[in-house]
Chain A
């Protein structure tokens, strides 16, 4: 059972959940050279110890494999923590404006105030001339850019629009639009989808982060991830600067998580730099032991709250779109087929952002085409945000070997959902996240945070949400989102460990505690299988081990 390599570290006296079907629970784990060399009883692993091996007494606590987050944006997450104004999505207009005022007083004239994140349900409140006036007043002349919680849309002040060259007579950009007050047709500072990029770009040309800042932001983000027990992730918009920061940290021995990257096929609205072929070629050179730029990212549609997601059925009628508007995809179907074909020929998988059910159908259709021509593959394409799915498409995930990327962690009532209800009506909006149906149809479900869309990349919140379908924070009391779609704790744990590991192409290296796999482990303050389901989100990580060494220890 045990490997020939000697153990330099022994983890003893634990209740260790392996996620390995062969033996779910063990008492002790032995690690050598960062890999697991033995599991079993204390006696089993003691035999493997080299003289002077370090002993970690788990004190009877639960331990389990490190968490794998299948979808996040670490550089943005870290930069938000380090360099930007943060406020919760629950704030109303007056409080947001108040925070901006405080920040403006501390910001030099000419410098940007960049903040996040306002709730998707605030859209109609902010999309007015009065709100813009309040924001302008609070900003004391500084340009202001505030991201919404979907990170697809922005609310900016008049100075920011001026710097971005946006005036009343400016035409909407392709794949985006400027918010206008329905009462008078004037600009409100709301930037929808690609319009956000115009202002982000203006901000980036002034306040662009240096390589050093990128590295600090990624290092900070990885520390944050480690503190929640995350030891592997996929950055879902891995631009060159993101990959370069990963590679630099790994070269310095400071990257304490496995980092997969999905490289955008086309430059996204919110991050800048090379994309497509040029980026894929760069990605090869930035691959490292812990850096795996092996995915392509395609943004097929937008988000439901801004009516930019593509649906089979129309949104509710509104003054701007009129009747029968279903949203649209941002990539044509032939182009999607071509990107998939190209990615497969380069040995890359594709993560496809699909927020609406029509986008999901189109992505599955395109993958079906590629499978038909290319035959079976080891590559695992992802449908990201696999949340609104036509019932007929559910079995196709398993048939086509497509991963359901479950992110962001919105498997329960949230302000996002309230925004969806406004545009789709309650009944359709709440047919959200058919996780159990997907599981029963054999799909590989992989958990992700989409941090910083979610303010904290906290998987314990996510695991509770998968199990209860109720908001772990206590918001929306008494309401569950489509509770029939709840999964059990063991499934939720798999979703955030072995499944996500397989999804990012590292299923043989991480995701469960087995001999030969990386000794990535978290120690918890409770046994999540024994605690009440609505207490799982309160779980604290006591320590996180990456390749056998501690990378986080709770003070």
Chain B
């Protein structure tokens, strides 16, 4: 379907999610309006919703629209996964060269099954890779929405990047309230404010593994730094949404846990432990990311990325992306206590608790 697929490298997919009215369509509109976004295939729910009329050049098929900067928009027929499969099979936009995909979920969607499908379904996994999850949060209504809707909390919990929208419509207190929620539910995510950043940055750069590793390393650094400095939003014993007063129990048990392991780990038992985790608690494993220092090859970190029941085939990198060569793991989980992760890591992967540094523990 595209030159990338022909050369065999996977097409990066950015999943754009966010609750109803949180401004994700506006954000997508701005991304697609950028001049250098050619080669982008946007998979959207319907043309009308996004208000693209001013960008349209032609509509070649009922479901496709070509924008004047070379982007293609494609509407969803059944669900996103079905549409993605049609794209993968060249049934849609087969004559268009695709360098990246931006996939917009509906406002009530749970993004985890979409991520899962991208990794677990063979026809998708060989064509696409997940470039990141961008979640829009509305600075005006976001706090209330997050208090009330489990869907919104889950969308936020799996984010790599959170874009705060409508900040101009709120005051300092309102903005602080919503940032507090974000820090609690998505402590590992990069937080940006819409309008303050080049929109193309929201679509995580079409990077190679090195770029992916580097961004993961900086993410891990942010989390571990946060922990060490006992920042109010630290990920402590109770997870990152710890003791934050009135909404401490309002997050459906969603927690982010980060771990640092100084010593190299034995890959075999460690991999077995990950497999057990995905087999038994996959439904509650929203996302997992990590860089692992393995015994026998301490200079070649292994990059991990898991969603629910699947892990990407672990990739061994040529070099560490930063000076920190320790194993660092981040788990975003639901209803899994920190001690379950610690105890099973000790029991099955042979990483004794005293070798394990929970961040801010």
B347 close to chain A: CB less than 8 A: yes
Contact between A345 and B347 (Cβ–Cβ < 8 Å)?
A: no
Contact between B283 and A345 (Cβ–Cβ < 8 Å)?
A: yes
Contact between A337 and B276 (Cβ–Cβ < 8 Å)?
A: yes
Contact between A372 and B347 (Cβ–Cβ < 8 Å)?
A: yes
B267 close to chain A: CB less than 8 A: no
With a CB–CB cut-off of 8 A, which chain B residues contact A340? Answer: 280
Q: Shortest beta-carbon distance, A186 to chain B, in Å? A: 44
CA distance A93 to B72 in the complex (A): 77
B221 close to chain A: CB less than 8 A: no
Q: How many residues of B contact A (CB 8 A)?
A: 13
With a CB–CB cut-off of 8 A, which chain A residues contact B347? Answer: 372
Query: Size band of the A side of the interface?
Result: 10 to 19
CA distance A340 to B340 in the complex (A): 17
Contact between B276 and A369 (Cβ–Cβ < 8 Å)?
A: yes
Contact between A334 and B275 (Cβ–Cβ < 8 Å)?
A: yes
CA distance A344 to B275 in the complex (A): 17
Contact between B280 and A370 (Cβ–Cβ < 8 Å)?
A: yes
B344 close to chain A: CB less than 8 A: yes
Mostly helix, strand, loop or mixed at chain B's interface?
Answer: helix
Contact A369-B340, Cβ < 8 Å, known A334-B279, A337-B280: no
What string of 1s and 0s marks CB contacts (under 8 Å) between B249-286 and chain A?
A: 00000000000000000000000000111011111000
CA distance A369 to B340 in the complex (A): 11
Interface hub of A337, A345, A372, A374 (most chain B Cβ within 10 A): A372
With a CB–CB cut-off of 8 A, which chain B residues contact A51? Answer: none
CA distance A372 to B279 in the complex (A): 13
A338 close to chain B: CB less than 8 A: yes
Q: Shortest beta-carbon distance, A336 to chain B, in Å? A: 10
B47 close to chain A: CB less than 8 A: no
Contact between B283 and A373 (Cβ–Cβ < 8 Å)?
A: no
CA distance A316 to B340 in the complex (A): 43
B348 close to chain A: CB less than 8 A: yes
What string of 1s and 0s marks CB contacts (under 8 Å) between B340-354 and chain A?
A: 100110011000000
CA distance A345 to B285 in the complex (A): 14
With a CB–CB cut-off of 8 A, which chain B residues contact A372? Answer: 276, 340, 343-344, 347-348
CA distance A232 to B316 in the complex (A): 56
A283 close to chain B: CB less than 8 A: no
B-contacting residues, A369-390, CB 8 Å: 369-370, 372-375
Q: Which residue on chain B has the smallest CB distance to residue A375? A: B340
CA distance A374 to B284 in the complex (A): 11
Contact between A341 and B279 (Cβ–Cβ < 8 Å)?
A: yes
Q: Which residues of A contact B (CB under 8 A)?
A: 334, 337-338, 340-341, 344-345, 369-370, 372-375
Which 3 residue pairs are nearest across A and B when measured between Cβ atoms?
A: A341-B280, A373-B280, A338-B279
Q: Which residues of B contact A (CB under 8 A)?
A: 275-277, 279-283, 340, 343-344, 347-348
Q: What would 20 more interface pairs be, CB under 8 Å, given A334-B279, A337-B280? A: A334-B275, A337-B276, A337-B279, A338-B279, A338-B280, A340-B280, A341-B279, A344-B280, A345-B283, A369-B276, A370-B280, A372-B276, A372-B340, A372-B343, A372-B344, A372-B348, A373-B280, A373-B281, A373-B344, A374-B280
Q: List 25 A-B contacts (CB under 8 A).
A: A334-B275, A334-B279, A337-B276, A337-B279, A337-B280, A338-B279, A340-B280, A341-B279, A341-B280, A341-B281, A341-B282, A344-B280, A345-B283, A369-B280, A370-B280, A372-B276, A372-B340, A372-B344, A372-B347, A372-B348, A373-B276, A373-B277, A373-B280, A374-B280, A374-B281
